[in-house]
Amino acid sequence: MSKSNTPKNNTSLSYKDKLMSVHRFYGVEIEYLEPKFNRVHYILESEFLNYSGSFFKVQLNRQKLYVNNKVPTKVLEVLADKCANVLYPLVLKVSFSGQIQEIDNYLEIQERWKALVPKIKKEYSGEIAENYMNSISTNMADQKIFLSKLRRDVVYDLLFPRLFVLGELNFEKDNCEFNLPHYAYPSGIIFSGKQEISKYPNSNNHIMVTYEGKTPEANDVIKKEIKNGQLNLKYALDNENASMLYFKGICEFYNPEYQKIEYKISRLKEMEITKKV
């Protein structure tokens, strides 16, 4: 997988080649608005590395995690944050249609975790901390299990737009099934709806991608837990390289209380790094 054959003339580059020059920082926000307010936000660094065929590799780094606008101070929050940091840098192999295929640096992450465990055990004792670390060790022991756990993090699922409309002549597609990760539902929340992509860039030279879905009423399992579920997603993509510029999503459902979650991923242009292709 190499960029050595990339043409030097930028005007002749494909959008895939141009995408490999993107090194971006995003502000990530997840707000649980109902029934009880809770907010998590952090900075996510995203650098595209290379591509081959229909897949690309991207490296992610997380910075400055805040819970309700404060640095984590509770024991379990601090423990969870320290354990999560072992993931980074995280290198993912992703399809151009937005599906995460594998963790490219899985073995490196495994080694970082093995080195971290003795240090964590010196700082934290007790059954809860022990069980928490044992759970991570078990998940990390198998690459497929580890990937499935990673996919349950909603940010990774939303960071790369799922483009169901690829290949559609009218730039829209009905009955698109989107499985939204949610911490309370191991299998996620399934929505079915319509995705549209703008035929032309807007005045900001952005291509807009929207999705509107509902929880299928025919699904008996979902009906027992979730009612009147609605999901709205909106992406702005760079017309030059198809990279994500900003994203906003809203998820609403009843179970049995009214639940509302808002997701935002915003480009931090002042932190951006320009790479030569």
How sure is the predictor about 275, in pLDDT bands with cuts at 50, 70 and 90? low
Q: Is the pLDDT of residue 138 over 70?
A: yes
**Mean pLDDT score, 264-277:** 81
**Mean pLDDT score, 135-161:** 93
What's 15-269's CATH class?
mainly beta
Q: Is the pLDDT of residue 39 over 80?
A: yes
Q: What does pLDDT average to over the chain?
A: 89
**Mean pLDDT score, 214-234:** 75
Tell me what pLDDT residue 178 has. 94
Tell me what pLDDT residue 277 has. 57
**Mean pLDDT score, 74-84:** 90
**Mean pLDDT score, 140-159:** 93
How sure is the predictor about 270, in pLDDT bands with cuts at 50, 70 and 90? confident
Alpha helix stretches (DSSP H) within the chain:
15-19, 75-84, 106-123, 127-140, 143-150, 154-159, 220-225
Predicted structure pTM score:
0.87
Between 40-54, 115-129, 238-252, the lowest mean confidence (pLDDT) is in 115-129
Separation CA 160–CA 163 (nearest Å) = 9
Q: Where are the domains of the chain?
A: 15-269
Beta-bridge mates of residue 46: 24, 60
Both tokens assigned to 115: 């080195």
Q: 270 vs 43, which has greater pLDDT?
A: 43
Q: Is the dihedral of CA 260, 136, 134, 142 positive or negative?
A: positive
